[in-house]
């Protein structure tokens, strides 16, 4: 299951991996939390909601994924109980073994709040005393959470973010482009509001940059695996298991994690009073 903030976010950073999982035999699901209600300079809220829902349905169809309707309007993705309860109900219904979510660092709060909501919705999937809306029974089973790369491959302070895992999306890049092209209402809006001149080209640049960073693939998507506590076993890495040669673990990233852990463990502990 892929969860994005706005219509077209999944296509920018997650769609290639979602298609590869579909080809590997997984049932795939597609959900944007926000409606895209602010992504226009000409339409009313009601009109742009309808347009972007239709575009998202078309994109999900291209990707071969089950479409789920949005939950709130743009800039209303808050980390609060009402939205969490609704999202948790959907996560319980789908009960995914792999959950693709945004980066915890990104250039706007809708994206980072979507990340927080999605992670918590997965965390409470088996908690009988957490009430969802509508009510859904808790579910068993493991879920591995993967964080996509931030837009621009940087955090909000412009620092480069490196993935822990590269997924080779070269063979499905055309499908990814086709899905993103369904969001026709966004061409002029992204050009004028965010400087994403020819947004298809912007997505392709992100994918090509990640491919170069991998040192192996032409186009790629990048992922960082969430800590396993409350979700799955420590060594679970189902993307690698499912996609095989289309995955490349970033050994430098893993070495840095190990180095940081060893450094922290070796630090002298403060004297207890």
Residue 21 placed within a domain: yes
Is residue 248 within 8 Å of 166, Cβ to Cβ? yes
Residue 272 placed within a domain: no
The boundaries of the domain holding residue 166 are: 2-266
Domain count, the chain: 1
- What is the token pair recorded at 236? 């679970």
Longest dimension (CA), the chain: 65
- What is the token pair recorded at 53? 């829902």
Specify the CATH number for the domain of residue 112: 3.40.50.10320
The C-alpha atoms of residue 82 and residue 120 are separated, in whole angstroms, by: 13
Parallel, antiparallel or unpaired: strands 66-68 and 29-32: parallel
- How far CA 218 is from CA of 5, 22, 148, 206, 210, in Å, comes to 27, 21, 18, 11, 8
Please tell me the predicted confidence (pLDDT) of residue 264. Answer: 55
pLDDT in tens, the chain (273 residues): 999 999 999 999 999 999 999 999 999 999 999 999 998 888 999 999 999 999 999 999 999 999 999 999 999 999 999 999 999 999 999 999 999 999 999 999 999 999 999 999 999 999 999 999 999 999 999 999 999 999 999 999 999 999 999 999 999 999 999 999 999 888 766 666 555 557 888 899 999 999 999 999 999 999 999 999 999 999 999 999 999 999 999 999 888 877 766 655 565 655 554
Please tell me the predicted confidence (pLDDT) of residue 266. Answer: 63
Residue 178 placed within a domain: yes
Residue 271 placed within a domain: no
The C-alpha atoms of residue 101 and residue 182 are separated, in whole angstroms, by: 21
Q: Which residues pair with residue 67 across a beta bridge?
A: 30
210, with CB counted inside 10 A (0-12, 13-18, 19+), is: buried
pTM, two decimal places = 0.92
Residue 201 placed within a domain: yes
Residue 163 placed within a domain: yes
Residue 65 placed within a domain: yes
Residue 273 placed within a domain: no
């Amino acid at each position: 299951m892929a969860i994005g903030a706005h219509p077209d976010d999944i296509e920018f950073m997650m769609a290639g991996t979602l298609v590869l999982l579909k080809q590997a035999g997984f049932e795939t699901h597609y959900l944007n939390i926000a409606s895209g209600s602010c992504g226009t300079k000409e339409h009313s809220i009601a009109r742009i909601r309808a347009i972007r829902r239709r575009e998202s349905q078309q994109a999900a169809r291209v990707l071969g994924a089950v479409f789920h309707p949005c939950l709130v309007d743009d800039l209303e993705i808050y980390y609060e109980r009402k939205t969490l309860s609704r999202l948790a109900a959907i996560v319980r219904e789908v009960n995914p073994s792999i959950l693709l979510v945004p980066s915890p660092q990104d250039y706007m709060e809708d994206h980072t709040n979507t990340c927080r909501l999605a992670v918590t919705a997965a965390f409470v999937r088996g908690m009988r005393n957490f009430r969802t809306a509508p009510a859904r029974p808790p579910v068993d089973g493991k879920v591995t959470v993967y964080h996509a790369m931030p837009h621009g491959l940087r955090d909000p302070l412009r620092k480069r973010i490196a993935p822990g895992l590269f997924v080779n999306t070269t063979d499905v890049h055309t499908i990814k482009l086709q899905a993103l092209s369904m969001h026709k209402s966004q061409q002029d809006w992204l050009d004028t509001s965010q400087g994403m001149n020819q947004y298809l080209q912007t997505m392709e640049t992100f994918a090509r940059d990640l491919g170069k960073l991998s040192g192996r693939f032409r186009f790629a998507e990048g992922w960082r695996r969430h800590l396993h506590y409350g979700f799955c076993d420590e060594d679970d890495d189902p993307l690698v298991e499912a996609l095989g040669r289309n995955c490349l673990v970033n050994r430098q990233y893993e070495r840095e994690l190990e180095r940081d852990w060893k450094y922290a463990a070796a630090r002298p502990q403060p004297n207890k009073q």
